[in-house]
Amino acid sequence: MDVTGSLLKRNPPPQLDRANYLKVRFWTETEWKTWRATTAEGQQSSQYTSFLEDDDGKPLPSKQIGDILQSARDLWHELHKRKFIDSDTTWTSMSASAKWNFRDEVTRACPELNLGEDLWKSDMLGKKNYGSFKQTWFTNRADDKVSGSGKCKVKKESVDSVDLPKSKRARLSPSPSPDDGNSNINDSNTQIPTSISASSASSSSIQSVSGPHTPSIPSLH
C-alpha cells in the first residue's frame, strides 16, 4: 500500500476501563506473569501468546492468534521498508518512534490487544515475537536462493512450535516519524512522546473498532 502523510502527534488507542471488562483475567502484565508462574495451566501455556484473550477472559482461537501475528508481521515489514528497522535491530534497540508506531497500529488493528492497561499486550507481543520475525526475514531469508522463476523461497514462520494459520489481512502501514537519532528505550511501558505521521490508503475498507471481538485495521490519517 502506498502511504503518504504529514507529521502528526502520537494518537494511541483510548485506554479501556477495566470496570467494563470484569471477566478479563490479565488486565495487567503482573497478573499474567503470576498466573504463568503459579498455576499448572499457566506453566503449560505459551509464553508467546497466552496473554491473548477475549472480553470473557477466554483464550483466543488459533486462527485469531494467527491473524494478530500476521498483522504484526505486516507492520514490521512496513517499518523495515521505511528503514525504521534493519537486520541489526533488536526489540530492545528499536527506536522509540518505531516501537510506539508498532504498539499503536497493531492495537488498532487487533482490539483484543487493548484489553489491558497501557498497551502492555501489544508491547509483550512485540517482545516475544519480533525475534522470530527477525530470524526468519532478516537472517534466514538472506540465505534463500532465487529459483528459476526469479522468486525467492520464503521460510514459514511458526510461534512456540504451534503451527498457526496465516489468514489474509489487509496490509498495515505504520506512520513514518522523524528520525529520533536511533534513540532506544527499555521494555517498560513508560510513554515516550514522539511525533509520527499517518495516512490513509487501502483498497479494502475494514470496519472500525467497535469492540474487542472485531479486529480491524484503522484508516491512518
pLDDT of residue 174: 54
Distance CA 135, CA 141 (A): 8
pLDDT of residue 11: 77
Q: What is the mean pLDDT of residues 59-87?
A: 95
User: Under 8 Å CB-to-CB from 11, ≥6 apart: which residues?
Assistant: 104, 198
Residue predicted with more confidence, 215 or 6: 215
* Residue matched to cell numbers 482461537: 61
Residue predicted with more confidence, 182 or 115: 115
Q: What is the mean pLDDT of residues 112-133?
A: 96
pLDDT of residue 10: 73
pTM: predicted TM-score of the whole model, two decimal places:
0.62
Identify any residues that bridge with 7 across adjacent strands, giving them in sequence order: 197
Q: Is 70 helix (H, G, I), strand (E, B) or coil?
A: helix
Query: Which residue from 125, 118, 121, 76 is spatially nearest to 101, judged by alpha carbons?
Result: 76
Query: Which residue from 205, 25, 199, 2 is spatially nearest to 112, judged by alpha carbons?
Result: 25
Distance CA 164, CA 147 (A): 27
In this model, does residue 117 exceed pLDDT 60?
Answer: yes
Distance CA 119, CA 28 (A): 10
170 backbone φψ class: left, alpha, beta (φ>0; ψ -120 to 50): beta
Query: Which residue from 51, 60, 61, 53 is spatially nearest to 21, judged by alpha carbons?
Result: 53
Share the mean pLDDT of the chain.
Answer: 73
Distance CA 129, CA 66 (A): 12
Distances, alpha carbon 30 to alpha carbons 16, 25, 58, 160, in Å: 18, 11, 18, 21
